[in-house]
């Protein structure tokens, strides 16, 4: 599908008119009091740029401007910017930044919370949560006790990723992993696969449970559909297990494990998908070099970031319709690693 044209922002207007973004905001809000003096020719350039581009101020921005600080907090349970994680978190942050600019909000990244065992906690002795009008929560696993406290305190927040109830409904924008895995499992069955295996990451995060649910939806149509432990095992040991069970297609939650499994198969003279089909269930969480395009799906991370800010602003200004929970479809990738099982291959 063709992508939607990018929305004109105040930053674009400022660049075209040769003024600051603050000046554009003042013109849009029709400020002309004694404390704010804008030269008529400057105001004219801004208005001409607005007319030429067809810019329309976002109504959310106007609502927020009247009542709030227009500061959105971003809290990450895992460090967001180490080199090993940047490829996964970066699209979320891009989407967050883009929509925050659209509605004229600043972002405040909460980094003072100490990292313990690789994770942060929102509530610590120096937390500055109340500096922001509301907060976005990023992390593969979010502490249910902290969600419960946020609900109890009535502090506006939105989780990026589906979250279970924690003392009340949780507002979130997530990816519909269950539907994506369901669709991929259906494709594998349509190719003739009847012995399926699922390799989880070994976590109890909602995203992992949703993937399991999608895999299990077609279990009755398969001769064998089992979950195979992967944590702490190398690719060769996993491959031995798959071959012993005559598995023809494996669904792998961790992208790096899928790449390692394909390399292990190649070292043995096996081919993917000829001898074993490999389906990935999401994008890499760490940079993993590979020449293959794996069959699987892309997570709509940038759009999740954008819509998370949209939902949060509606929670903040009281215009939210219900709790504010959205699941976005994942983009399926045909790839080169899912094919029909070869009945002539000896799997003994």
Judge contact between 305 and 151, C-beta under 8 A: no
Judge contact between 339 and 274, C-beta under 8 A: yes
Q: Look at residue 336 and tell me if it is in a domain.
A: no
Euclidean distance between the first and the last CA atom of the chain, given in angstroms as a whole number: 45
Q: Look at residue 340 and tell me if it is in a domain.
A: no
Number of domains in the chain: 3
What is the mean pLDDT for each group of 10 consecutive residues in the chain (348 residues)?
57 87 76 63 87 67 61 82 62 92 88 71 76 89 86 90 84 96 96 95 87 88 86 91 94 95 96 96 88 96 96 86 89 96 59
pLDDT value of residue 57: 63
Q: Which of 132, 142, 219, 235 is CA-nearest to residue 182?
A: 219
pLDDT value of residue 320: 74
Identify whether residues 163 and 206 lie together within a single domain: no
- CATH number, domain of 127, equals 3.40.50.2300
pLDDT value of residue 164: 84
pLDDT value of residue 29: 67
Judge contact between 173 and 206, C-beta under 8 A: no
Q: Look at residue 38 and tell me if it is in a domain.
A: yes
Q: Look at residue 162 and tell me if it is in a domain.
A: yes
pLDDT value of residue 3: 44
Q: Look at residue 338 and tell me if it is in a domain.
A: no
Phi, psi of 244 (to 5 degrees): -65, -35
Give the count of alpha carbons within 13 A of 218, CB side only.
Answer: 25
Between the alpha carbon of residue 47 and those of residues 14, 21, 71, 101, 102, the distances in Å are 11, 13, 27, 19, 18
Q: Is 174 helix (H, G, I), strand (E, B) or coil?
A: strand
Q: Which of 262, 319, 247, 329 is CA-nearest to residue 295?
A: 262
Identify whether residues 191 and 285 lie together within a single domain: yes
- How far is it, in rounded angstroms, from Cα 304 to Cα 295? 22
pLDDT value of residue 240: 95
Phi, psi of 72 (to 5 degrees): -110, 125
Q: Is 127 helix (H, G, I), strand (E, B) or coil?
A: coil
Range of the domain at 90: 67-175+300-329
In Å, how far from its chain's centre is CA 140?
Answer: 10
Judge contact between 120 and 96, C-beta under 8 A: no
Identify whether residues 272 and 125 lie together within a single domain: no
Identify whether residues 121 and 73 lie together within a single domain: yes
Domain boundary among 255, 278, 298: 298
pLDDT value of residue 331: 97
Identify whether residues 272 and 168 lie together within a single domain: no
Q: What is the pTM of this model?
A: 0.78
Concatenated DSSP letters of 50-99: HHHHT----HHHHHHHHHS--EEEEEESS-S-STTTHHHHHHHHHHHHHH
Identify whether residues 19 and 52 lie together within a single domain: yes
Q: Is 104 helix (H, G, I), strand (E, B) or coil?
A: coil
Q: Look at residue 2 and tell me if it is in a domain.
A: no
Identify whether residues 166 and 311 lie together within a single domain: yes
Identify whether residues 293 and 305 lie together within a single domain: no
Q: Look at residue 337 and tell me if it is in a domain.
A: no
pLDDT value of residue 348: 40
Identify whether residues 186 and 169 lie together within a single domain: no
Identify whether residues 73 and 150 lie together within a single domain: yes
Q: Look at residue 137 and tell me if it is in a domain.
A: yes
pLDDT value of residue 86: 55
- CATH number, domain of 46, equals 1.10.260.40
């Amino acid at each position: 599908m063709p992508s939607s044209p990018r929305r004109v922002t105040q930053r674009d207007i400022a660049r075209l008119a040769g003024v600051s973004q603050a000046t554009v905001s003042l013109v849009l809000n029709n400020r002309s009091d004694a404390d704010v003096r804008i030269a008529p020719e400057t105001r004219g350039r801004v208005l001409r740029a607005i007319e030429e581009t067809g810019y329309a101020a976002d109504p959310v921005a106007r609502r927020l401007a009247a009542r709030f600080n227009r500061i959105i907090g971003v809290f990450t349970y895992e460090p967001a910017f180490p080199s090993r994680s940047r490829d996964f978190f970066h699209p979320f942050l891009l989407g967050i930044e883009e929509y925050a600019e659209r509605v004229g909000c600043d972002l405040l990244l909460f980094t003072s919370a100490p990292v313990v065992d690789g994770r942060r906690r929102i509530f610590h002795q120096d937390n500055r949560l109340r500096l922001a009008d509301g907060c976005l929560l990023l992390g593969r696993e979010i502490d249910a006790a902290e969600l419960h406290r946020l609900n109890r305190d009535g502090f506006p927040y939105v989780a990026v990723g589906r979250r279970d109830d924690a003392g009340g409904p949780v507002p979130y924008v997530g990816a519909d992993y269950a539907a994506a895995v369901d669709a991929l499992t259906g494709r594998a069955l349509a190719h003739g696969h009847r012995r399926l295996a699922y390799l989880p990451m070994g976590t109890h995060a909602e995203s992992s449970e949703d993937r399991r649910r999608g895999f299990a939806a077609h279990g009755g149509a398969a001769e064998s559909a089992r979950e195979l432990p992967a944590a702490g095992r190398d690719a060769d040991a996993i491959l031995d297990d798959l071959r012993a069970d005559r598995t023809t297609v494996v669904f792998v939650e961790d992208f790096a494990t899928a790449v390692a499994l394909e390399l292990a198969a190649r070292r043995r003279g096996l081919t993917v998908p000829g001898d074993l089909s490999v389906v990935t269930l999401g994008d890499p969480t760490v940079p993993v070099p590979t020449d293959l395009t794996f069959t699987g799906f892309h997570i709509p991370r940038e759009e999740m970031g954008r819509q998370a800010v949209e939902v949060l602003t509606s929670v903040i200004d009281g215009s939210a319709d219900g709790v504010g929970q959205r699941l976005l479809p994942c983009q399926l990738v045909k790839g080169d690693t899912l094919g029909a099982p070869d009945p002539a291959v000896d799997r003994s």
